[in-house]
Homo-oligomer: A and B are copies of this chain.
C-alpha cells in the first residue's frame, strides 16, 4: 500500500542504506547514484516515514514552541519569528527541515507540563518556552525536573522572554528587562508630574506581572524619598498605599476595563493608569472614556509591549517596546544550534520606552 524506502531502493537498484544516505544527505554518495535515487523517490512519490526514522535514529525533527496564549499577538509574533528561523534551510523539497510547531498552553500549568511530556514522547529536537512563568514552587520544581529529563534525552531547551531557571537543563535564556521597562515607564509619568498612578497588573502569580510591577514601584519609591512628604514637583505626594492602587487580573481587554473603573472609583484623583500590557491598556482607555474623561487631558494611560495596534490607538498609546520579533528569531536560531548561546547562557533584552500621545502632564487641580 504505502511505498517504503525499500521500494525506492529496488527501483533505483541500490540498497536501502544508500537511499537513506542520500535522503539524509549526511554521508558521501556518488552523484550519479544520488540522481537515480532522487528520481525513484519522485516517481514513486515516496515520503519518509517519520516515526520509523525517529525510532532508528533516536531523534526527531520536531521542535516545540510553547506559548501562553496563541490568540495574543505578543506570543504570535515571537512564535512566528522563531518558527521562521527554525524552518530556514528548507531545501524546497522538504529535506532536512525541522517541523517547528507551536503549542498553546492557555496559561495552564498542567497543560504546560502535558505538552512537555508529549514533546518528550516525540523525542523533540528542541523546545522553546516563551513568555512569563508561573511562580508556584511546586510547578517550578515540576518544570525543572521535566526540562532536566528532556535535556538528558538530548533535547535543546531555550527560554524566550522568560526568566532564567536554575539547573543546567536550559541551553540559553533570553529574558526581557520587564523591571527596567516598568521603571522607565513610571519615571516618564513621574517626570510629567504624575504622582497618583493606578496600576492594572496581570495575574498575580506570573513573573512578568511581578517584574513590571516591581519596576513601577521602585520608580515611585525613589521619587517618594526624593520629594519628601510635600510631594515635590508633582501633583501631591506619592500615595503610601500602593496596594490599594493596584488591581490584578488576566492579560485581557476586559480586565483593563473593569479594573480601571474600580481604580477610579477608589481614587477619583488618579491622574494616570498604567496597564500590564497594551491589550489591557486598550480596555483601560475604553473605561476612561466611558466615564466621560479625556485621554490624556484628564487621565494618562500607558501600556506595555508595543504591539502593532498600539500606535493606531487614539490617542496613540505610550508603552514600552519589546523586540518580540528579534527575540523570537534569536530563540529559533539558538534552538537549532545556529547561534552560540550568550555568555553565561543568559541574555537580557532591553525594553524601550515609547512615549506617545496617551500620556501628558496631569491637569492642575
Contact = CB atoms under 8 A, between A and B. Distances in A.
Contacts of A73: 71-73, 76
A117 interface: yes
A97 interface: yes
Contacts of A103: 83, 99-102
A31 to B, nearest CB: 25
Nearest to A119: B99
A189 B104 CA distance: 39
Nearest to A69: B80
A92 B153 CA distance: 23
Interface in A79-94: 79-80, 83-84, 87, 90, 92, 94
- Consensus secondary structure, chain A interface: helix
Contacts of A111: 87, 90
A49 B121 CA distance: 5
Interface residues of A, number: 67
A149 B45 CA distance: 10
A260 to B, nearest CB: 12
A317 to B, nearest CB: 11
Contacts of A122: 50-51, 62, 99
A167 B113 CA distance: 40
A47 B114 contact: no
A106 B71 CA distance: 16
A293 interface: no
A122 B70 CA distance: 23
The 6 closest A-B pairs by CB, nearest first: A51-B54, A314-B314, A71-B76, A101-B101, A50-B121, A94-B117
